[in-house]
Structure 1
Amino acid sequence: MSALISIARRRLGSWAFNGIAGAVLGFILLPLVFVTWLAFFRQAIPSFPPEGYSLKWFFAIGDNKKFVEGFLLSMQVAVAAMLIGLAIGVPGALCLARYRFWGREGLSSLLLLPLVVPGIVLGTSLYVFHVEAEIVTGLPVLGSVAAMVAGHILIVIPWCVRMVTASLAGFDRGIEEAAQSLGATPLTTFFRITLPVIRPGIVAAALFGFVVSFGNLEMSLFLVGPGRTTLPIAILQYLEWRIDPTIAAVSVLQILLIGAAMVATDRFVRISRVV
Structure 2
Amino acid sequence: MGSLKLGILSPGGIAALSARDLRTTGRKLPAFAARTLVVLVYLFILSPLVFVIWLSFFKDAIFTFPPSGYTASWYMNAWRNASFANGFVFSLQLAVLAALIGVSVGVAAALGISRRRTRGAALINLLLLAPLVVPGIVAGIAIYLFYLRAEDLLNIDLVGTFGGLLLAHVCLTIPWTMRLVSAALGGLDTSVEEAARNLGASAWQTFWRVTLPMLRPAIVASALFSFIISFENLELALPLVGPGHTTLPIAILEYLEFNLDPTIAAVSSVQIVLLGIVMLITDRFVKLSQVL
**Which of the five TM-score ranges fits, normalised by the shorter chain?**
over 0.9
What's the counterpart of residue 91 of structure 1? Answer: 108
The residue number in structure 2 matching 1:198 is: 215
Deviation at 1:15, TM superposition (A): 4.5
Query: Does residue 171 of structure 2 align to residue 154 of structure 1?
Result: yes
1:221 aligns to what SS in structure 2?
A: coil
The equivalent residue for 2:8 is none
Secondary structure of 1:222's match? coil
Equivalent pair of 2:197/2:203 in contact (CA under 8 Å): yes
Distance 1:175 1:24 in 2: 40
Unaligned runs of 5+ in 2: 1-17
Contact 2:78–2:267 (CA under 8 A) maintained in structure 1: yes
Matched letter for residue 180 of structure 2: M
* The 10-residue stretch of structure 1 (58-67 or 165-174) with the greater mean CA deviation from structure 2: 165-174
CA displacement 1:69-102 (0-9 Å, x = unmatched): 1111111211111111112101111112212222
Structure 1 residue 52 and structure 2 residue 69: aligned? yes
Q: Deviations over 1:191-242 (max 9, x none)?
A: 2111110111111111000000000000110111134311001111111211
Contact 1:167–1:273 (CA under 8 A) maintained in structure 2 = no
Q: Which 4+ residue blocks in structure 1 deviate beyond 6 angstroms?
A: none
Q: Which moved more, 1:221-230 or 1:206-215?
A: 221-230
| Counterpart selection for 1:23 from 34, 40, 63 | 40
Whole-angstrom CA distance in 1 between matches of 2:123 and 2:26: 47
TM-score by length of structure 1 reads 0.93
Match of 1:171 among 178, 182, 188: 188
TM-score, normalised to structure 2's length? Answer: 0.88
Q: How does 1:223-262 map to 2 (within 5 A)?
A: 223-262=240-279
The structure 2 residue matched to 1:180, chosen from 197, 200, 219, is 197
Moved more, 249-258 or 96-105: 96-105
Q: Distance in 2 between matches of 1:139 and 1:186?
A: 40
Say how many residue pairs are matched: 275
AA aligned to 2:192 is I
Instruction: Report the more deviating stretch, 43-52 or 227-236.
Output: 43-52
Q: What's the % identity of the aligned pairs?
A: 49
- In 2, Cα distance between equivalents of 1:115 and 1:225: 25
For structure 1, list consecutive stretches of 5 or more residues without a partner in the other structure.
none
- Equivalent position amino acid for 1:78 in 2: A
**What is the SS of the residue equivalent to 1:20?**
helix
1:105 deviates by 2.0
Counterpart residue identity of residue 88, structure 1: V
Give the deviation of 1:184 after TM superposition.
1.4
- The structural deviation recorded for 1:135 is 1.4
Shift of 1:23: 2.9
Q: What residue is the counterpart of 1:41 in the other structure?
A: 58
Following the alignment from structure 1 to structure 2, what is the Cα–Cα distance between the partners of residues 175 and 19?
A: 43
Cα distance in structure 2, aligned partners of 1:15 and 1:201: 34
What residue identity is the alignment partner of 1:119? G
d(CA) in 2 for partners of 1:3, 1:233: 63
1:220 is paired with a residue whose SS is coil
Q: In the alignment, which of 84, 87, 108 is matched to residue 67 of structure 1?
A: 84
**2:11 equivalent in structure 1:** none
- Residue type of the alignment partner of 2:234: L
CA distance in 1 between counterparts of 2:19 and 2:249 reads: 59
**Contact kept in structure 2, 1:74 and 1:214, CA below 8 Å:** yes
Which residue of the other structure, out of 115, 129, 140, is the alignment partner of 1:112? 129
SS of residue in 1 equivalent to 2:186: coil
Does structure 1 conserve the Cα–Cα contact (< 8 Å) formed by 2:161 and 2:245? no
Separation in 1, partners of 2:274, 2:84: 15
Cα distance in structure 2, aligned partners of 1:86 and 1:238:
33
One-letter amino acid matched to 2:138: V
Between Structure 1 and Structure 2, whose CA radius of gyration is higher? 2
